[in-house]
Amino acid sequence: MTTSACSHLNKGIKQVYMSLPQGEKVQVMYIWIDGTGEGLHCKTLTLDSEPKCVEGLPEGNFNASSTLQSEGSNRDMYLVPAAVFKDPFCKDPNKLILCEVFKYNRKPAETNLRHTCKWIIDMVSNQHPWFGMEQEYTLMGTNGHPFGWPSNGFLGPHGTSWRLITRPACMLESGLQGLMLRSCLPSGNFKLNPVKESAWEIISGWPISSCIVCVKTLE
């Protein structure tokens, strides 16, 4: 596995520009799922003031030919804001906006599964459905190898692969995890769990241990 070219860039240059004053302007990043059902795309809008709720955000649009969502010559798609979160990268008052995608005829895009999901949840809202989502990931070293793994091999049995906290590599890794968890806090309620050496998971919502997505109701 090769590393991203971005990993070799000087991050200090970015900070120079990110520290420039933005006045009263607010940047809102619209995020949506593309035609594959897995890829994420985004575009940033600049507003004159901080949005107070999702209803106060304008609709967006994009050319769907570059996201595998266009139908023939109909390339216009609409972005309807569905949820607002504080932006942990650009910081307050900037926001991250999760959007639903609708076609040129205002019908939900094929990968807009949130539209149907919300319709179903609204029907059982008296049961107060509560979701837990678990996103696992692995830290990679600059050599493209999982961070902390043997350079020419694999980890031992799963029961012995949890980190020994006094190891220098683990102490560095734990520091990185702390930064990741801290960056999630402005956006909601998250929990960070270790899985194995250099592999962690971020959990949002009801804490779970064995499922990637789980749901709980009052009953």
pLDDT of the residue at 177: 62
Mean pLDDT of the chain: 79
Average pLDDT over residues 33-47: 95
pLDDT of the residue at 39: 93
- Residue bearing the bigger pLDDT, 14 or 187: 14
The pair of three-digit structure tokens given for residue 188, joined into one six-digit string:
């909601």
Residue with tokens 């996201």: 67
Whether pLDDT at 209 is above 50: no
CATH topology of domain 127-216: Creatine Kinase; Chain A, domain 2 (3.30.590)
Residues 6+ apart with CB under 8 A from 204: 132, 133, 135, 184, 188, 189, 190, 191
pLDDT band at 12 (very low <50, low <70, confident <90, very high): confident
CATH topology of domain 10-123: Ubiquitin-like (UB roll) (3.10.20)
What residues does each domain of the chain span? Answer: 10-123, 127-216
CB 45 within 8 A of CB 57: no
pLDDT of the residue at 166: 42
CB 113 within 8 A of CB 180: no
The side-by-side arrangement of strands in the sheet containing 26-33 is: 40-47, 26-33, 95-102, 76-86, 60-63
Q: What are phi and psi of 5, to 5 degrees?
A: -60, -25
How far from each other are the two terminal CA atoms of the chain, in whole angstroms? 46
What are 111-145's pLDDT values in tens digits?
999 999 999 999 999 999 888 777 776 777 777 77
Residues of the chain with pLDDT > 90, as a percent, come to 42
Amino acid sitting at position 171:
M
pLDDT of the residue at 144: 75
CB 145 within 8 A of CB 137: no
Residues 6+ apart with CB under 8 A from 8: 142
What is the spatial distance between Cα 207 and Cα 1, in angstroms, rounded to a whole number? 32
Query: How many alpha carbons lie under 13 Å from residue 24 in its C-beta half-sphere?
Result: 2
Whether pLDDT at 43 is above 80: yes
Average pLDDT over residues 165-177: 49
Residues of the chain with pLDDT > 70, as a percent, come to 70
